[in-house]
Amino acid sequence: MLIISIAVFVGSVPEALPIGLTSILAIGVERIAKKKGIMRSLTAAETLGSTTLIITDKTGTLTEANMELVDIDTIEQLLAEDFTPSNHQDDFDQTQKEILLLARSASDVVIENPEEDYQTWVMDGSDLEVNIVKAAAHHGITQNQADRSEIQIRIPFSSKYKFSAVRVPSSHLPKHLSQFEDPHVVMGAPDIILNRSYLSHEDRERLQAAVTEHSHYGRRVLGIGLLTPHTDPSSITIDHVKDVTFLGVLSFHDPVRQEVPDALRRINSYGTKVIMATGDLPGTALAVAKEIGWDVNVANILTGQQLQQLSDDDLIQILDRISIYARVTPKDKLRITKLHQSQGEIVAMTGDGVNDSPSLKAANIGIAVGSGSDVAKSVADLILLDDNFKTIVATIEEGKQILANIKKMFVYLMSNALDELILIGGAILAGVALPLSAVQIIWVNLFTGSLPAIAFAFDRQSMIETEKTSRQFFDKRVVFLTVFIGIVISLMLFGLYLTLLKSGLAVDLARSILFASFGSYTLFIAFSFLDLSRPIYKYSLLENKLLLAGVGIGTILLFATFTVPFFQRIFDVQSLPFIWIIFVVFWIIINLVVVEGAKWIANTFLIKR
């Protein structure tokens, strides 16, 4: 009884579960890596499959991050009554080139090979400033290292105040701007620079309307102005940036990635919502959203300023209808993430800068883009080797595959865990001979159940095409299938054993029939668990070669157990007459019907379509 008790305990604990779980996660992470995503932990891979909300930025993720300078507008052009943004302007006049020169001077870009043609330059800097340098070179505006050494960054750009201030020598200025002493080029968000200018309220409104017109074309707009600080230039602070002379704007067009619309449709079909959080103007964000086929309008947009005026309770009331957050800061992103989590969402958040680190850490899945900072990558769960939204969708699909494989392995193993308990416990209560020996229990547990379970790690049959995203692992389907199949089949096994004994069969033959039935059905019902959402006749049984091999090896071992005298003695079994071999095949079919029936009940009555 002691040996049997130990065997029952071992049999009721699925040893393949931790091995299979680790295998599923490791293989899933490898597949994600092939899709250009690097997971920093195994457990995060499972969470990835449960994602219900993606908060993505715009530049580089939805777009190509190739911001081509398409227009430069002076303040005079912007204030004109008939102002309309040009589609694409390649030839700039003298005034426009002067603005471009100032923008080039204020751009913090390092050129590794300046002696080569500008089209082959290797540059280090922000995407926007790199494109400014390229455009300047295209129009014959270059600066040598000596010129660059005289330029000093006084206030670096920050997403908090959205501008930079760079001291430029007077020798770099056009003649008509020579009145500026110790000038600083102020470059950043047009609305911020306008608010810090000396212009009248009326002119600011007209200029802001012109900038908004640019954004409706899906352009990113950069304002530029000049400042003579009313203080020691070496001690200039943010508060000293006022009474700026507004010069004009540079507008850039960043093409949408061609693969994004299809990726967006795929991820939406899985029940995962996507929202955009960007620092760009609402018009720019809305234009890009419509270009990728997003069904949004002005009512679905919330700006950072509006966001900051709402309390958490008020914001929660409108979360469901907001698809775009424009002009937001990293602090706003963190708040948005936490509020969505408070509503039960599993949030994946993209980010690239140091300031995005709190949001990436707070999200269920922090996604750092490949071009981002090392700080962002260090706190992220997933690092993209490229910045493409398609890659995010591909990694989430792999995460869903991981989650699907874990579910099917769990249900398969745990539904078999009750067999030995009910068989042995029922025999003791009924006062009949024990149906299985200790070595038979161990054999079934280690060789028949474990081989198919580990093979699930390599399976590509998933539920992502036929079910909505589950917000929890133990959903209704998993719980029902585990409990229902486990209890029904265990009781069927015990009923089979009692029936064999009452029919007058010898105990040894009854045990052998039960052992053959027990071991074989455990192998073959694995095929029913390949997809928990579809009946067995609707998917291929041949795709998972390792499962076929596992079931084949298990069947050969089981056959050898009943035919090879050496194994017959070890496992205390006898050869089965042909009629009972037919019965074992019939028993396998019955169990497959039970499992398929359980799947039908679960998918018909428990899962909402």
Nearest to 326 by CA among 286, 296, 299, 355: 286
Nearest to 230 by CA among 238, 215, 240, 220: 240
* β pairing state of 301-303 and 110-111: unpaired
Nearest to 79 by CA among 238, 260, 207, 194: 207
Give the bridge partners for 37, in sequence order.
Answer: 384
Nearest to 338 by CA among 307, 356, 362: 362
* Alpha-carbon gap, residue 250 to 103, rounded angstroms: 9
Residues designated as active site = 57
Q: Which two tokens stand for residue 146?
A: 């000596």
Q: Which two tokens stand for residue 10?
A: 């071992």
Burial string for 281-300 (b: 16+ CB within 10 Å, else e) reads bbbbbbbbbeebebebeeeb
Give phi and psi for 220, each to the nearest 5. -95, 125
DSSP class per residue in 412-481: HHHHTTHHHHHHHHHHHHHT---SS-HHHHHHIIIIISHHHHHHGGG----STTTSPPPSSSS-HHHHHH
Give phi and psi for 347, each to the nearest 5. -100, 130
Contact 28, 320 (CB under 8 A): no
Task: Please work out, in degrees rounded to the nearest 5, the angle formed at the alpha carbon of residue 540 by the alpha carbons of 537 and 546.
Answer: 130
Burial (CB count <10 Å: 0-12, 13-18, 19+), residue 453: buried
* Alpha-carbon gap, residue 417 to 427, rounded angstroms: 17
Give the bridge partners for 378, in sequence order.
Answer: none
Rg (CA), the chain: 34
Instruction: Give the count of beta carbons closer than 10 Å to the beta carbon of residue 247.
Output: 24
Backbone dihedral region of 475: left (phi > 0), alpha (psi from -120 to 50 degrees) or beta? beta
